[in-house]
């Protein structure tokens, strides 16, 4: 059987979901971060297999699959043990809804914080407005997650699974920005971070964040100002920036040609 290659970025929560699933199932795989990721002009082989130019991308011989949820479903179908999905249809629907919320609404917040704090899209009063909206939103989502967790140890139910790997990359990311959860959600976070699969992803993310080869933020901001580095503003991210007070951020990004949207697949 051909080896599995995952195109990823250590900070991508979407990629972390896939890596956690593979680690939990004991499936060996290789990792690669595509050259040019984030520029809008990534390496040719990567773009040919994933016209969205996003990570993760699953490659195994002639099999090439993009979109983290689709990849997870494929992994669960092909490598069913140990099962990460709950058994009952209703519980499966519940964790799929949980994943959808995290991948859209909460991911947009995590992405948006980076836009303001690291990429300097807003300063002064505008930045303060967006940050205030961010804080309120995170408090709301944490309250919702606490309710969804209830008295269970795991979002997946009786044991760790799909529901948990769908949540932990985002909560760890928000905690890294200073938004630590409280109550049962915090107890769950401490518990889930003890799993080897999660810890490996977290260690890789922290290593890249503090010692990564591309962390010259001034150079990165310069490339962005020149239109050479384009952050993706598709669907939920665009909605989040506008509703959080950042319409001017979008307008400026369009004028400077340093934001991008999904293009028609070639």
For 206, what's the count of Cα atoms within 13 Å in the CB-facing half-sphere? 9
Whether residue 208 lies inside any domain: the answer is: no
Q: Is residue 54 part of a domain?
A: yes
Q: Give the total number of structural domains in the chain.
A: 1
Asked if residue 262 is part of any domain, the answer here is no
Residue 265 DSSP label: P
Dihedral angle computed from the Cα positions of residues 94, 95, 98 and 103, in that order, rounded to the nearest 10 degrees: -140
Per-residue pLDDT of 23-60, as tens digits, reads: 999 999 999 998 867 655 666 778 788 888 889 999 99
Specify the CATH number for the domain of residue 51.
3.40.30.10
Q: Show Cβ contacts of residue 157 under 8 Å, excluding neighbours closer than 6 positions.
A: 86, 91, 163
Domain of residue 54: give its range: 5-78
| Runs of H (alpha helix) within 178-216 | 183-192, 196-211
Is 216 among the domain residues?
A: no
pLDDT tens track for 224-256: 888 888 999 999 999 999 999 999 999 999 999
Has residue 56 been placed in a domain?
yes
Residue 99 counted as domain residue: no
Q: If 0-12 CB within 10 Å is exposed, 13-18 middle and 19+ buried, where does residue 147 land?
A: exposed
Whether residue 52 lies inside any domain: the answer is yes
Sign of the dihedral defined by the CA atoms of residues 156, 159, 165, 170, in that order: positive
What are the pLDDT digits (tens) for 93-136? Answer: 999 999 999 999 999 999 999 999 999 999 999 999 999 999 99
Domain-located, residue 11: yes
Has residue 214 got a pLDDT over 60? Answer: no
**What tokens were used for 262?**
């999904």
């Amino acid at each position: 059987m051909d080896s599995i290659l995952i195109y990823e970025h250590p900070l991508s929560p979407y990629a972390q979901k896939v890596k956690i699933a593979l680690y939990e199932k004991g499936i060996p795989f290789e990792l690669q971060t595509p050259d040019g990721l984030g520029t809008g002009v990534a390496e040719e082989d990567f773009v040919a297999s994933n016209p969205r130019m996003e990570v993760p991308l699953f490659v195994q011989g002639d099999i090439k699959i993009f979109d983290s949820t689709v990849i997870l479903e494929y992994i669960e179908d092909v490598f069913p043990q140990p099962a990460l999905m709950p058994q009952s249809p209703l519980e499966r629907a519940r964790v799929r809804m949980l994943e959808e919320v995290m991948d859209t609404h909460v991911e947009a917040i995590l992405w948006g914080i980076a836009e303001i704090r690291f990429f300097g899209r807003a300063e002064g009063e505008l930045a303060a407005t967006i940050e205030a909206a961010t804080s309120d939103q995170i408090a709301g989502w944490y309250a919702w997650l606490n309710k969804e967790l209830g008295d269970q140890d795991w979002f997946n139910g009786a044991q760790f699974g799909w529901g948990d790997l769908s949540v932990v990359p985002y909560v760890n990311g928000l905690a890294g920005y200073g938004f630590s959860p409280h109550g049962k959600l915090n107890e769950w976070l401490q518990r889930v971070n003890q799993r080897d699969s999660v810890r490996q992803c977290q260690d890789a993310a922290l290593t890249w964040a503090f010692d990564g080869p591309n962390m010259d933020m001034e150079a990165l901001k310069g490339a962005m100002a020149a239109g050479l580095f384009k952050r993706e503003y598709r669907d939920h991210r665009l909605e989040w920036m506008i509703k959080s007070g950042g319409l001017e951020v979008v307008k400026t990004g369009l004028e400077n040609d340093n934001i991008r949207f999904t293009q028609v697949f070639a």
